[in-house]
Structure 1
Amino acid sequence: MEAAKPLPSYLVQRFHGWKATSYAENHAWFRRLSTEGQHPRAMVISCCDSRVHVTSIFGADTGEFFIHRNIANLVPPYEPDGDHHGTSAAVEFAVTSLKVAHVIVMGHSSCGGVKGCLEMCSGRAPALEEKTSFVGRWMDILRPGYEKVKDLPEDRISKALEHQAVLTSLENLMTFPFVREAVENDELTLHGLWHEIGKGGLEAYDPKAGGFVEL
């Protein structure tokens, strides 16, 4: 595989720094994780965005979260069609094998994927309409959410669609039979969050309030 190259030196240096500090100070814990396997309490579905750092936000330790990241923190509907479904596979493993108690979907401000969906659905991004666009076809998952917020004022629509990305994912999670069964049996709870990057804020979806409320 000639395309693969050696790791950049700054990353090698950071690895050795981690090995000499964090690992060295907690080597017994890492060995326990290795021999006993993982037992995370929660699965977090968040965006690929490099500005969203779930473990830092919640101060999570190694082994505490089962994390899946994708463009715009989306979960597709349940579709057992034999095609590749990375997100669906992660959800299945977390719920049926790891038996997590919580699935958390966390969106965020200034989401590039949501911005792309907004531009695509409003006819301003023809490249994303092409069948060959992986991003465009992935963002099709959020089209129903766009329809719910498309008539809002321009200064409100982006955040509203970011909220819809979370809600759409929560709704789609409930189309998975094993998720619905676990929820109905009180073995699993679903949670929706939205992170404001610049202000360090966090909002949670509250069905009683009918929207997101600041924590």
Structure 2
Amino acid sequence: MKHAKPLPTYLVQRYQGWKATTYASNESWYRHLGTEGQHPRAMIISCCDSRVHVTSIFGADQGEFFIHRNIANLVPPYQPDGNQHGTSAAVEYAVTALKVAHVVVLGHSQCGGVQGCIDMCEGNAPALESKESFVGRWMDVLRPSYEEVSDIENPAEKARSFEKQAVLVSLENLMTFPFVKERVDSGELSLHGLWHNIAEGGLESFNPASGNFAPL
């Protein structure tokens, strides 16, 4: 592969620092993980946004979470049509092979993907409308739910509401997967919806009884 280049120096230095400190102090645990395999209790579906650091938010160690990240933390509906579905494959593996007890969908503030969907719905993102736009076609998963927030006039409030709507859409779509529904119905699996305020370090959880997100 002639286009690949050596790793940037700063990343090499960071790796070497990690190996000499964190790894050296926990070598037995890493060797255990490397020989015994993974047994995570939860799957976290979060956004690719570099500001959302799932393991830091929950103080998790290696091996504790099975993490899948994509644009706007979306789960598409169950659709085994022969196309490649990275998110669906991750959900299948977590639920059927790893037998996780929890699937958590984690949305966040200032989500660029969600804002892109708003822009598309309001006719302000012609580039995302192109059939060649991977981001635009991915955001089509969320697009039908725009009507839930279309009447909100304040842009910031609309974005925040739609970010939370993206979490709910993903939770609803998870239940279209037969193997997810089966384990939820049997009580072996629980689904959770969260929204993270990056600037304030806040975390809100969806309460199905009230139909709202509330601070933890």
Smaller-chain TM-score bracket: over 0.9
Q: Tell me how many residue pairs correspond in the alignment.
A: 215
Equivalent-residue separation in structure 1 for 2:145 and 2:207 (angstroms): 18
The AA in structure 1 aligned to 2:73 is N
Equivalent-residue separation in structure 2 for 1:209 and 1:134 (angstroms): 35
Report the counterpart of residue 16 of structure 1 in structure 2. Answer: 16
Equivalent-residue separation in structure 1 for 2:113 and 2:199 (angstroms): 18
Equivalent-residue separation in structure 2 for 1:75 and 1:46 (angstroms): 10
Report the counterpart of residue 147 of structure 1 in structure 2. Answer: 147
Report the counterpart of residue 42 of structure 1 in structure 2. Answer: 42
SS at match of 1:6: coil
Runs (5+) with no aligned partner, structure 2: none
Equivalent-residue separation in structure 2 for 1:93 and 1:85 (angstroms): 12
SS at match of 2:184: helix
Q: Deviations over 1:58-102 (max 9, x none)?
A: 000000000000000000000000100000000000000000000
1:199 matched to 2:200: yes
SS at match of 2:136: helix
Report the counterpart of residue 101 of structure 1 in structure 2. Answer: 101
Q: Deviations over 1:5-51 (max 9, x none)?
A: 00000000000000011111111111111111000000000000000
The AA in structure 2 aligned to 1:19 is K
1:171 matched to 2:172: yes
Report the counterpart of residue 213 of structure 2 in structure 1. Answer: 212
Equivalent-residue separation in structure 1 for 2:147 and 2:6 (angstroms): 46
The percentage of counterpart residues that share the same residue type is: 71
The AA in structure 2 aligned to 1:178 is F
The AA in structure 2 aligned to 1:8 is P
The AA in structure 1 aligned to 2:139 is M
TM-score (norm 1): 0.99
Structure 1 residue ranges, 4+ long, deviating more than 3 angstroms after superposition: none
Equivalent-residue separation in structure 2 for 1:142 and 1:121 (angstroms): 10
Report the counterpart of residue 119 of structure 1 in structure 2. Answer: 119
Equivalent-residue separation in structure 2 for 1:122 and 1:186 (angstroms): 41
TM-score (norm 2): 0.98
Q: Deviations over 1:143-167 (max 9, x none)?
A: 1221211111224210010001100
